[in-house]
């Protein structure tokens, strides 16, 4: 947990989130349930990765069933981030927020950057990634490290590569 977005999350939701980032792969289904959000793997048009909307009085995340599981996990993280950070935007439209494959929604770009940063923290908690990098790979980033960490955290290699490059720059 490292991004400045974490600090913007209200209690008690921040505490719920913090309970889930101590072991990998992060249990996204249970996390969503504890936050009161339903997840539905759904048929969605090509080019759409996910959506979060208030349906009745239930927040529902839909993820595109045709995308890879690792991709679906990042999308769930991204939609959960919208839920935690941008609820008023979700509430202001019956369709909530719908994200393309580039995680663009027609909403301000700033909110998509925020959601992507928090999503990366949710699915690849920094302290866990650092620990695993050190203990299993001697702190050295190679192609094998990226692949090994991506498979442990059930994320795409591309996502883990970005995470590791941010970590090294930090
Ligand atoms: Zn988004």
Helix spans in 5-155 (H): 13-20, 28-35, 69-85, 87-91, 109-123, 126-137, 143-153
Residues lower than pLDDT 70 in the chain: 1-2, 169-170
The pLDDT assigned to 73 comes to 97
Task: Sort strands 37-42 and 58-64 into parallel, antiparallel or unpaired.
Answer: parallel
- 101 C-beta neighbours (distance < 10 Å), count: 14
Asked if 59 and 53 touch (Cβ cutoff 8 Å), the reply is: yes
Per-residue pLDDT tens digits for 59-100: 999 999 999 999 999 999 999 999 999 999 999 999 999 999
For ligand 1, the distance from its centroid to the CA atom of residue 14, given in whole angstroms, is 20
Rounded distance from Cα 97 to ligand 1 centre (Å): 7
Quick one: pLDDT at residue 4? Answer: 83
* Predicted local confidence at residue 170, as pLDDT: 57
How far is ligand 1, taken at its centre, from the CA of residue 152, in Å?
25
pLDDT value, residue 44: 98
- For residue 165, is the peptide bond before it cis, meaning its omega torsion is within 30 degrees of 0? no
At residue 167, the pLDDT reads 80
- Cα–Cα distance measured from residue 9 to residue 105, given in angstroms and rounded to the nearest whole number: 21
CA distances to 38, 106, 118, 133, 170 from 89, rounded to whole Å, are 18, 12, 17, 37, 31
118 alpha carbon – ligand 1 mean position (Å): 11
Distance 77 CA to ligand 1 centre (A): 10
CATH of region 6-123, choose from 3.30.310, 1.10.10, 3.30.420, 1.10.3470? 1.10.10
């Amino acid at each position: 947990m490292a991004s400045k977005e974490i600090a913007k999350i209200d209690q008690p939701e921040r505490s719920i989130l913090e309970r889930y980032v101590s072991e990998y792969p992060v249990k996204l289904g249970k996390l969503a349930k504890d936050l009161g959000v339903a997840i539905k793997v759904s048929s969605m048009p090509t080019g759409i990765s996910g959506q979060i909307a208030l349906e009745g009085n239930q927040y529902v995340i839909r993820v595109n069933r045709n995308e890879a599981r690792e991709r679906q996990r990042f999308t769930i993280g991204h939609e959960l981030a919208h839920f935690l950070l941008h609820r008023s935007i979700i509430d202001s439209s019956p369709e909530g927020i719908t994200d393309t494959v580039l995680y663009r929604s027609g909403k301000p770009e700033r909110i998509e950057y925020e959601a992507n940063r928090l999503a990366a923290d949710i699915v690849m908690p920094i302290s866990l990634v650092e620990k695993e990098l050190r203990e299993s790979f001697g702190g050295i980033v190679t192609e094998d490290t990226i692949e090994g960490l991506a498979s442990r955290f059930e994320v795409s290699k591309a996502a883990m590569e970005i995470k590791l490059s941010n970590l090294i720059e930090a």
